[in-house]
Structure 1
Amino acid sequence: MSITDDLIVASATLCKTTGLLNKDYNHQIRNHVTVLRKLLSNKDLDSVAQDDTLLNVSEDSYFNFDPSQDSITYLFLLHLQIRARREASGQDLPADLLPSGKLWLKSAYFLRSFDPIQVRYAGHEWRQLVELVVQAAQASPRPFLAVRLVRDAMLRLDPSCAVLTSTHLLLTHLALFSKAYTCALPVLERQISHVPISAGRHFSSSLQILCAEHESSLSFLNEETGLSSKLLDRDYLRYFLYGGMIYMALKKWDKASHFFGTVISMPTVGSVSMIIVEAYKKWILVGLLEKGKLCPPPNITAPHVMKTIQSITKPYSNLAQAFESGDKKRLEAEVDAGQDVWRVDNNMGLVSQVLDEFARHSLMKTRKVFAALTVGELSAQTSPPNGKDDGITESKVASLIMSGAIDATLVHSQVCSNDSILRFATANSMLPQCHEIEMQAQLQIQGRLLESLFGHMEESNLRLGLSDEFIDNSIKGQSWTGAGEINPSLGGATDLEVEEDIMGDLA
């Protein structure tokens, strides 16, 4: 019997033991992993390593191993073929492992369909495959191809994604690298509740029944099972920094503030991490973009941390103060003075957005005082008293209105553009305009409901006995001798009097 036949038999035996008790299945699958590791460490497996059909991913082809049922065997054989290609090519990332290559397709198929219970027993191999896929994607012109793969693999392994793992870092870093921001959101939106316990504090994974149901995925997502590499404090900070940057790129300012605030409020002893400093810089800029002011840090932030990072981030604080002052000339001066700082920190794009947002926040401040004013008056209100700045122009106001940044209307003047009147909308005045489409949709829904109701009226009349045909048949052949005489089929005298009154009203 060949090695392939031995593997097929062993994998089939494992699939047939799924009805066993957790304890027995746990023992069976651990023995299977041990045998595979010893077998595949043998160098005399060229026939298996070179067999491209062994792990065929075509839906029309016969499967020697199905990754959804033979996950462990498929995973080990996949690593064997990757190792063989590396040795043959002399490269860490052979062409077959790059996107669209044979090994890439097999890896992608496995990550989309593996059995999450079986993979708990081969955590090191699973994580190594994920890391290889990320490396291969980053080495190609299309790194975004791996983002969805890694995300789906994480959610398949642990739908809650509540335990921070090294794969979380891989995903967020790759999403930033490839600018595939939205692909990472299904994981970022999961609440992180746990950080893996270090090996010294956790009981041995060899004593665990990994196939059993666990109250928390923390029981198997740890360094010992290999599903996560060892995490340091800075890894925790990096994940939330990267997450905040992803939300920032999507202009989800509130989510970005939450992630950056988590970094800033991280307890620390001794020196302050530069990751915290970087998060605070972005925290300031996001606060200006979202609320137009320098937001205070989270209450739980240590005072000595704030003292340190505020001393390092003076240019950002000065920029925020200039923004809050409403003096555009001063703001522009601060932007120009910190050009080198923004460039080194890779925050030039954010600072440019802050400068663009100044006009909108200036308008929002003016709205609190005026219900309406001309563009000329608005320009005077938002410009420095003795400056040469022309202030806000009518085109800028029109652009903000059309983009939905402010709720207002602009009444044009044919004489002079500065005489055009800007009217800020109140809740009542904007109701017909803002909700017109929504109201039309509701009316259409109600209209369809009424049509449906009228369509069933005839059927309802027949069932209730109120149709013209029913009434004619009921009256035919009956004689009424007096007002006090009743038709026995219509009930007692009291009911008849009520019915007579109703029919009288309708006559």
Structure 2
Amino acid sequence: MNSVEGLLTQIRGLSSTASDVLSLQNVLKQADESLHAESTRLLPFLDQLDPSKHSLGYLYFLEACTAGPVTTESASSFVLIIARFISSCVAEQIRLAPDKFISVCKRFKDQVLLLEEPLRGVAPMLTAVRKLQSSTEHLTTLHPEFLLLCLLAKCYKTGLSILEEDIFEVDQPRDLYLYCYYGGMICIGQKCFRKALELLHNVVTAPMSTINAIAVEAYKKYILVSLIHHGQLSTSLPKYASGVAQRNLKSLCLSYMELANSYNNGKIADLETYVQANMEKFGSDNNLGLVKQVVSSIYKRNIQRLTQTYLTLSLQDIANTVQLNSPKEAEMHVLQMIQDGEIYATINQKDGMVRFVEDPELYKTCEMIEHIDLSIQRLMTLSNKLTVMDELISCDPLYLGKAGRERQRFDFDDFDSVPQRFNI
């Protein structure tokens, strides 16, 4: 215990200036093994440190305290201690030991889940993400942990706040997979299907040397959301998707591909029959709710088809064509689609006729001009980012080494072989 007391004295004395904290970091690294050996007796010493002043030292003690198994009884107190630390710690200090901070935050997540109270972890984990980030463009290992808590607590709007930020820096590839997958699920929960498709698409087309479970589950949801949002599914992945994904994803998601084929036929009865026959499969994948939304969306898709053929149509004709039960049900579908901006139409209540019209947007309102201006600015920022990234890659030794090896395969400096190659 004397060594622990001495370490506490050093922590209190070396937490004032940046140079002192760097010296403290070396001391703590050397003491880390002994702290873990005393882990079961360290908890009382935390009261002798101020997390807002001695953040780095407090972090080392807290990480050692939480390294062992945690019971439900002790989890409740640890959750309070860690939440208080996350709230008051100094970002500049905890970034000197990011692995320690990430470990503590992940244990915090495990503990709130052990208590079955994910909501308690949402706000502290968001704070942890912000303190660990070097900028809003930086994707940390804690991003997926935060989004998972948002999902389990059904705090979708809180999760959306972080998904609106553009990401250009990633610590680990797995973080990107989970971030986009959980983010896609949060967007689905908020019915932000366009953003959900974008995130799921990133998972499916991300570089991968072997197929992984995250990509497979993401592709299943990608198929369903494509049908809901676009009313169709592209039969092939983009060329920039990895060869592994191109070869394997469809065969691993056959039930969903067959669902898409049934959907494309436009026959509601056939689609419902297929869903009923595969109810257990979709349920075991936790996708049954999405599948039901796919079935509901086929009515919208069939109504949208009518707008391409007719200028006016009665509600009764719409109900008959789309296979709805009554004109009233057809009216409710049309009204909802008008409200969502999916079709442009007017309904004459007197004679029950629907008149389909062109998009009324003239693109000259102040709101639309501001929207276009913001889009242009965002594209210019993205273009500048890509230019900088291209310059960095072109100077990267690993890239240059690989590019050089590839060039040698097509190098014809060996003049002795030229006559053979060109039959001279």
- TM-score (norm: length of structure 1): 0.62
User: Is the Cα contact below 8 Å between 1:68 and 1:113 reproduced in 2?
Assistant: yes
Q: Deviations over 1:408-429 (max 9, x none)?
A: 333334xxxxx5112335445x
Separation (CA, whole Å) in 2 of partners of 1:402 and 1:364 = 12
Separation (CA, whole Å) in 2 of partners of 1:115 and 1:172 = 23
Change over 3 Å in CA distance of 1:113–1:275 after alignment to 2:
same
* 1:50 partner SS: helix
Separation (CA, whole Å) in 2 of partners of 1:317 and 1:339 = 15
Separation (CA, whole Å) in 2 of partners of 1:280 and 1:287 = 10
Q: How does 1:476-495 map to 2 (within 5 A)?
A: none
Q: Give the drift of 1:152.
A: 1.4
Aligned to 1:421: 353
Which of 202, 217, 220 pairs up with 1:278? Answer: 217
Change over 3 Å in CA distance of 1:409–1:350 after alignment to 2:
same
Q: Deviations over 1:43-77 (max 9, x none)?
A: 4995x7436xx63xxxxxxxx54322210222234
User: Is the Cα contact below 8 Å between 2:51 and 2:88 reproduced in 1?
Assistant: yes
Separation (CA, whole Å) in 2 of partners of 1:31 and 1:326 = 67
Q: Deviations over 1:276-334 (max 9, x none)?
A: 33222211111111111113533312466334322333332232233233322232233
Aligned to 1:410: 347
User: Is the Cα contact below 8 Å between 1:36 and 1:76 reproduced in 2?
Assistant: no
* 2:283 partner SS: helix
Change over 3 Å in CA distance of 1:305–1:133 after alignment to 2:
closer
Question: Could you tell me which amino acid in structure 2 is paired with residue 327 of structure 1?
Answer: K
Structure 2: stretches of 5+ with no match in the other structure: 368-424
Separation (CA, whole Å) in 2 of partners of 1:137 and 1:27 = 33
Change over 3 Å in CA distance of 1:368–1:392 after alignment to 2:
farther
Separation (CA, whole Å) in 1 of partners of 2:101 and 2:228 = 41
User: Is the Cα contact below 8 Å between 1:247 and 1:253 reproduced in 2?
Assistant: yes
Cα RMSD between the aligned structures?
A: 3.5
Aligned to 1:76: 60
Aligned to 1:455: none
Change over 3 Å in CA distance of 1:127–1:277 after alignment to 2:
closer
Separation (CA, whole Å) in 1 of partners of 2:90 and 2:245 = 45
Aligned to 2:226: 287
Q: Deviations over 1:185-208 (max 9, x none)?
A: 344333343443xxxxxxxxxxxx
Q: Percent sequence identity over matched residues?
A: 25
Q: Give the drift of 1:274.
A: 3.8
Separation (CA, whole Å) in 2 of partners of 1:235 and 1:316 = 26
Matched, 1:50 2:44: yes
Change over 3 Å in CA distance of 1:147–1:409 after alignment to 2:
same
Separation (CA, whole Å) in 2 of partners of 1:42 and 1:174 = 31
Aligned to 2:279: 339
Q: Give the drift of 1:144.
A: 1.9
Q: Give the drift of 1:367.
A: 1.8
Change over 3 Å in CA distance of 1:299–1:43 after alignment to 2:
closer
Q: Deviations over 1:421-453 (max 9, x none)?
A: 12335445x99xxx9xx9xxxxxxxxxxxxxxx
Separation (CA, whole Å) in 2 of partners of 1:305 and 1:263 = 10
Question: Could you tell me which amino acid in structure 2 is paired with residue 29 of structure 1?
Answer: L
Higher alpha-carbon deviation: 125-134 or 34-43: 34-43
Separation (CA, whole Å) in 2 of partners of 1:361 and 1:129 = 48
User: Is the Cα contact below 8 Å between 1:359 and 1:392 reproduced in 2?
Assistant: no
Separation (CA, whole Å) in 1 of partners of 2:21 and 2:336 = 62
Aligned to 2:381: none
Higher alpha-carbon deviation: 280-289 or 401-410: 401-410
Q: Deviations over 1:234-275 (max 9, x none)?
A: 564344322222222221112211222122223344x53343
Aligned to 2:25: 30
Matched, 1:93 2:71: yes
Q: Give the drift of 1:42.
A: 7.0
Question: Could you tell me which amino acid in structure 2 is paired with residue 257 of structure 1?
Answer: L
Largest Rg, 1 or 2:
1
Change over 3 Å in CA distance of 1:307–1:255 after alignment to 2:
same
Question: Could you tell me which amino acid in structure 2 is paired with residue 71 of structure 1?
Answer: S
Q: Deviations over 1:130-155 (max 9, x none)?
A: 12211110011311211221121111
Q: Give the drift of 1:349.
A: 0.7
* 2:95 partner SS: helix
Q: Deviations over 1:324-378 (max 9, x none)?
A: 3332223223322332331232211111001111222222221232232111221
- TM-score (norm: length of structure 2): 0.72
Aligned residue pairs, count:
360
Q: Give the drift of 1:94.
A: 4.9
Aligned to 2:50: 66
Change over 3 Å in CA distance of 1:258–1:113 after alignment to 2:
same
Structure 1: stretches of 5+ with no match in the other structure: 19-23, 56-63, 197-230, 384-389, 414-418, 439-507
Question: Could you tell me which amino acid in structure 1 is paired with residue 245 of structure 2?
Answer: V
Matched, 1:349 2:292: no
User: Is the Cα contact below 8 Å between 1:108 and 1:149 reproduced in 2?
Assistant: yes
Separation (CA, whole Å) in 2 of partners of 1:93 and 1:243 = 30
Separation (CA, whole Å) in 2 of partners of 1:261 and 1:42 = 46
Change over 3 Å in CA distance of 1:30–1:423 after alignment to 2:
same
Separation (CA, whole Å) in 2 of partners of 1:264 and 1:339 = 25
Separation (CA, whole Å) in 2 of partners of 1:303 and 1:393 = 49
Greater helix content? 2
Which of 371, 394, 397 pairs up with 2:328? Answer: 394
Which of 174, 188, 202 pairs up with 1:262? Answer: 202
User: Is the Cα contact below 8 Å between 2:11 and 2:24 reproduced in 1?
Assistant: no
Q: Deviations over 1:194-236 (max 9, x none)?
A: 443xxxxxxxxxxxxxxxxxxxxxxxxxxxxxxxxxx5x6564
Q: How does 1:76-475 map to 2 (within 5 A)?
A: 76-79=60-63, 92-98=70-76, 101=77, 103-160=78-135, 162-196=137-171, 236-269=176-209, 272-295=211-234, 296-302=236-242, 305-383=245-323, 390=324, 393-402=327-336, 404-405=339-340, 406-413=343-350, 420-428=352-360
* 1:130 partner SS: helix
Separation (CA, whole Å) in 2 of partners of 1:124 and 1:402 = 49
Change over 3 Å in CA distance of 1:342–1:150 after alignment to 2:
same
Separation (CA, whole Å) in 2 of partners of 1:77 and 1:303 = 46
